[in-house]
Amino acid sequence: MNLLEQYQAVRENTELICLPLEIEDYVVQPIADVSPPKWHLGHTTWFFETFVLKEYLQGYEEFDPQYNFVFNSYYETIGSRVIRTDRGNLSRPSVKQVFHYRAYVDSQMEILLSQKVVDESIIAVITLGLNHEQQHQELLLTDIKYILGHNPLFPAYSISDRFDRPAIVNAQYINIPEGLYEIGYGGNGFHFDNECNRHKVYLRQYTIATALVSNREYLEFIQSGGYQDFRFWHAEGWDWVKQNHVIAPLYWFYMDQKWMQYTFKGLQELHLDEAVCHVSFYEAAAFAAWKDARLPTEAEWEAAAAQLDWGQRWEWTDSAYLPYPGFSKAAGAIGEYNGKFMINQMVLRGGSVVTAEGHSRNTYRNFFHPDKQWQYSGIRLVI
């Protein structure tokens, strides 16, 4: 598949994700973390217009100069923007106009990519843009789930089995011996800057589960009073539980004497043998403490990854999101992509059932604040 075909496939997949939506769904923003689907469609298009077409396509005419203010996310270098909490207030541009914007930029990208000579620097930015859009495809799905899952009608997004995975088996534990290990990206393919540089770490011996914690196991934690016992929680996590009245993972509801869970198929009875999902770092760490275990560090996770079944859930690690030795930010706006977020966040590893196919790898470093539940996040234990 050449670069133009890759571009077309990624862009088409974003719009396929939106196909089940009603027009009203495109503008909703229930919380600051959730961006309206319309905004995702516009922002991913703005990325290619701003960093590729305006830079590299001679004679390119900007679709609408005001869109830079509307669809810029966090790039201070590019200028001012609509603040994140106000993205849901934008009734205009309309959904129809945003799709016209996408079509216009796609047509111009096809002109650029059809040229006989495409510079390596252009290819690098386009490849980053495609991976950026795949990240937003995952955010689109998690944001859509939040929008529909907080609608009192609990509407289904899709009846497809696309996001279902077979029931997990009971976890076995494997021993990882003490020694020096190399982590970080070391190949020649695409990777984000936060995966560099490859470096050695010393690890003590540890024992790690081959499978993720199931809903059944997590339900035992709930029923034993885990959310009412401060002993298992970080102080900040315990404050979060009390202030937000948290009693279960996101999308769990106790109704008519049984636990229900909102899924893309709508409200269903909790599937006990599936991997637990939509838990915060606080919850993951508390569950681990209740089990007399702990979460793996990201180095431990990567050293064991080849022997693990990963890809169902993003897996919380016990590692703060910090730069690797020798990390440096690129110049300009592209340098804002990862480095400036390396504070007050925890690393997640692996991928999830809503991660774009082929997007993740065992060196991929995802990161979120420890209170976030809306991503497809789960738990793996170390004993």
Q: How many helices (H) and strands (E) does the chain have?
A: 10, 11
Per-residue pLDDT tens listing for the chain (383 residues): 899 999 999 999 999 999 999 999 999 999 999 999 999 999 999 999 999 999 999 999 999 999 999 999 877 767 788 888 889 998 999 999 999 999 999 999 999 999 866 788 899 999 999 999 999 999 999 999 999 999 999 999 998 888 877 767 677 999 999 999 999 999 999 999 999 999 999 999 999 999 999 999 999 999 999 999 999 999 999 999 999 999 999 999 999 999 999 999 999 999 999 999 999 999 999 999 999 999 999 999 999 999 999 999 999 999 999 999 999 888 777 776 778 899 999 999 999 999 999 999 999 999 999 999 999 999 999 99
**CATH of span 173-378:** 3.90.1580.10
Report the distance separating Cα 102 and Cα 26, nearest Å: 15
The predicted pLDDT at position 109 comes to 97
What single-letter amino acid sits at 229? Answer: D
Name the packing angle between helices 215-223 and 281-290 (round to 10°): 80
Report the distance separating Cα 110 and Cα 92, nearest Å: 27
Residue 355 in tokens: 């991660």
**CATH of span 3-149:** 1.20.120
Neighbours of 80 (CB within 10 A): 9
Report the distance separating Cα 257 and Cα 82, nearest Å: 44
The predicted pLDDT at position 86 comes to 87
Q: What residue segments make up the domains of the chain, in order of their start?
A: 3-149, 173-378
pTM for the model stands at: 0.95
pLDDT in tens, 161-209: 888 777 676 779 999 999 999 999 999 999 999 999 999 999 999 999 9
